[in-house]
Structure 1
Amino acid sequence: MVFRGPPFDPKKIPDLAGKVIIITGANGGLGYESLLHLAPHHPAKIYLCARSQAKYDAAMKGITAAIPNAASAVKYLELDLTSLASVKSAAQAFLSENSRLDILMNNAGIMATPAGLTKDGYEIQFGTNHMGHFLLTKLLLPTLQATAASSPDADVRIINLTSDGHSFAPRNAGFLPDTVKTDMQDYNTLTRYGQSKLANLLFTRELAKRYPDITSVAIHPGVVGTNLANSFTDSHRWLSYLMVPLIKVATGKPSVGALNQTWACVAPVTGRKGVGGGSEREVKSGGYYVPVAKPDAGSKWANDAELAKKLWEWSEEELERLGY
Structure 2
Amino acid sequence: MTRTSREPFQLSGRYANRNRWEVLAGPGDSRVTGQQIIHDEALVGAWSDKVVLITGVSSGIGVETVRALALTGATIYGTARNLEKAKEALGSLLETGRVHLLYMDQTDLASVRACADNFWKQSNKLNAIINNAAVMNTPESRTKDGFELQIGTNHLSHFLLFWCLKDLLLQSVTPAFHSRVINVSSSAHRYGPVQLNNINFEGNYNGWLAYGSSKTANIYMTTQIERLFGSHGIHGCSVHPGAFRSPNLQKYSEVEMEGMMNDKTMQRYLTSSEQACATSVYGATSSELEGRGGLYLEGASYAVHPCPPDGDAVEYGWGSWAFDQEKEERLWELSKKWVKVSDC
What band does the TM-score fall into relative to the shorter chain? Answer: 0.7 to 0.9
The Cα shift of 1:156 comes to 1.1
Contact 2:250 2:257 in 1 (8 A): no
Q: Report how many aligned residue pairs link the two structures.
A: 295
Whether 1:131 aligns to 2:156 is: yes
1:5-154 to structure 2, matched below 5 A, reads 5-6=16-17, 8=32, 9-10=36-37, 11-13=39-41, 14=43, 15-43=46-74, 45-61=75-91, 63=93, 71-148=96-173, 151-154=174-177
Whether 1:159 aligns to 2:189 is: no
Whether 1:220 aligns to 2:240 is: yes
Contact 1:184 1:192 in 2 (8 A): no
For the residue of structure 2 that corresponds to 1:211, the secondary structure is helix
The Cα shift of 1:321 comes to 7.7
2: CA distance, partners of 1:33 / 1:128: 21
For the residue of structure 1 that corresponds to 2:124, the secondary structure is coil
2: CA distance, partners of 1:38 / 1:21: 9
Segment drifting more, 262-271 vs 98-107: 262-271
1: CA distance, partners of 2:290 / 2:73: 26
Contact 2:54 2:132 in 1 (8 A): yes
The Cα shift of 1:114 comes to 0.8
1:234-245 to structure 2, matched below 5 A, reads 237=255, 241-245=258-262
Whether 1:207 aligns to 2:228 is: no
For the residue of structure 1 that corresponds to 2:56, the secondary structure is coil
2: CA distance, partners of 1:221 / 1:188: 23
For the residue of structure 2 that corresponds to 1:80, the secondary structure is coil
Tell me what 2:253 maps to: 232
2: CA distance, partners of 1:313 / 1:83: 20
Tell me what 1:306 maps to: 326
Equivalent pairs: percent with the same residue? 27
Contact 2:50 2:127 in 1 (8 A): yes
1: CA distance, partners of 2:171 / 2:52: 15
2: CA distance, partners of 1:261 / 1:321: 28
Cα offsets for 1:88-140 (capped at 9, x unmatched): 01000000111110010001101111111111111111100000000000000
Distance 1:310 1:12, change over 3 A: same
Tell me what 1:266 maps to: 285
The Cα shift of 1:184 comes to 4.0
Contact 2:195 2:201 in 1 (8 A): no
* Paired AA for residue 218 in structure 1: S
Which sections of structure 1, spanning at least 5 residues, go unmatched?
A: 273-283
The Cα shift of 1:179 comes to 2.2
Contact 1:200 1:218 in 2 (8 A): yes
Contact 2:189 2:216 in 1 (8 A): yes
* Paired AA for residue 48 in structure 1: G
* Paired AA for residue 186 in structure 1: N
Tell me what 1:281 maps to: none
Query: Which 4+ runs in 1 deviate beyond 3 A?
Result: 1-4, 182-185, 239-250, 269-272
Tell me what 2:28 maps to: none
TM-score, length basis structure 1: 0.84
Cα offsets for 1:13-43 (capped at 9, x unmatched): 4211210110001121111111111101111
TM-score, length basis structure 2: 0.79
2: CA distance, partners of 1:206 / 1:290: 19
Distance 1:251 1:184, change over 3 A: farther
Which of 280, 285, 298 matches 1:290?
298
The Cα shift of 1:12 comes to 2.9
1: CA distance, partners of 2:208 / 2:165: 30
Contact 1:219 1:261 in 2 (8 A): yes
1: CA distance, partners of 2:179 / 2:225: 13
2: CA distance, partners of 1:248 / 1:82: 33
Aligned residues: CA RMSD: 2.4
* Paired AA for residue 37 in structure 1: A
2: CA distance, partners of 1:6 / 1:207: 29
